[in-house]
Amino acid sequence: MNGQAYAHKPVLVTGGLGFIGSNLAVRLAELGADVTVVDSLIPELGGNRFNVAPVEEQIQVSTADLRDGEAVARLVQGREIVFAVAGNVSHVDSMTDPLRDLELNYRTQLSLLEAVRKGNPDARVVYAGSRQQYGRPQYLPVDERHPLEPVDVNGIDKAAAESATLIYHRVHGLHACSLRLTNTYGPRMQMRHGRQGFVPWFVRRAIDGQELELFGGGESLRDFNEVGDVVEAFLFCGQADSAVGEVFNLGHPEPITIRRFAEILLEITGSGYLAERPFPADRASIDVGSVYADYAKIRDRLGWEPRVGVREGLTAMVEYYRCHRRHYW
């Protein structure tokens, strides 16, 4: 990936004060891009102004709501690349409040696509999809041809938003593509509740010397991507013409069980302990079992590969939160 290609390039990052969006914004600013981030700072979704503290003097921040068409139209003007990272990632919350998930994941993306179509049709749009779109795998590893059969509303809305993004490419000619993200972890995750996946909650509780609950024994396999690797994938898609119109899985060559992930984390923190629990009913109904992705397509076409292993990534993550605890607990 040619980082120099981003020097002075005007880009927009939606959800840019959240976990992945802020890491992307920081990296873009480091590469010399002209960065605008938009994040409505909806409580509990993870938006945190401290996430962009290292580059706060180099970027522009908007707290507009992406459902506000006029505001979005202004934001996309003059932007050469739009990284569409905003949304709700809580599978549990999507089942308890499905209409809210629809608003935050589908309507916001449709609003963004319309703004680009009407006001800046030459912009590149890179959408943050999810492996949750696949649902329970019919085979492993899942590739991009695997059927999309989500088991929760979040997966449905992410699949719909991705489909809209690709339709806007095919019908309206927008230069759009999608990355289907797997279990992303690292600095700048929200740590105040456990409804956005087990990783941040495990890390918080391990640092605090508390119990880590392994639902169903933790034997399901997952692949984990450190957020720096994920950011690089976005940067590849933002500049490669061969990415336009495509969907790419991310993944890791070494899937491990959730139990092993937790064991490595406890070895790093030196505190906390494991406890096996049966799945709560609200989680059992949407659990997908073992799932990990085939990322050969993005490797072969764009040259992206993950570089960070779980132990290395978790070590850096724990160090970050121990240093900046007061901004996340």
Q: What are the pLDDT digits (tens) for 277-304? A: 888 877 778 889 999 999 999 999 999 9
Q: What are the pLDDT digits (tens) for 38-68? A: 999 998 889 999 999 999 999 999 999 999 9
Bridge partners of 62?
38
Mean pLDDT of all residues belonging to the chain? 96
Residue 108 has a pLDDT of 97
Q: What is the DSSP letter of 195?
A: S
Question: Count H helices, E strands: the chain?
Answer: 12, 13
Strands 10-14 and 81-84 turn out to be parallel
User: Token pair for residue 62?
Assistant: 């908007």
Q: Which has more pLDDT, 148 or 193? A: 148
**Residue 130 in this model has a pLDDT that exceeds 90:** yes
Residue 189 has a pLDDT of 97
Mean pLDDT (whole number) for 100-115: 97
- pLDDT bracket for residue 21 (50, 70, 90): very high
Q: Which has more pLDDT, 4 or 51? A: 51
- pLDDT bracket for residue 228 (50, 70, 90): very high
Task: State how far the Cα of 77 lies from the Cα of 84, in Å rounded to an integer.
Answer: 15
Task: State how far the Cα of 54 lies from the Cα of 185, in Å rounded to an integer.
Answer: 19
Q: Long-range contacts: 131-135, Cβ < 8 Å, 24+?
A: 131/180, 131/181, 131/182, 131/249, 131/291, 131/293, 132/91, 132/158, 132/288, 133/158, 133/159, 133/162, 133/180, 134/180, 134/288, 134/291, 135/288
Residue 283 has a pLDDT of 77
Residue 44 has a pLDDT of 84
User: Token pair for residue 212?
Assistant: 């880590």
Q: What are the pLDDT digits (tens) for 163-203? A: 999 999 999 999 999 999 999 999 999 999 888 889 999 99
Domains annotated on the chain, with CATH: 3-190+225-253+292-310 (3.40.50.720)
Residue 248 has a pLDDT of 98
Residue 158 vs residues 75, 153, 180, 219: alpha-carbon distances, Å:
22, 9, 10, 26
Q: What is the DSSP letter of 49?
A: G
**Residue 79 in this model has a pLDDT that exceeds 80:** yes
Cβ atoms of residues 154 and 91 within 8 Å: yes
Residue 93 has a pLDDT of 92
CA atoms within 13 A on the CB side of 128: 27
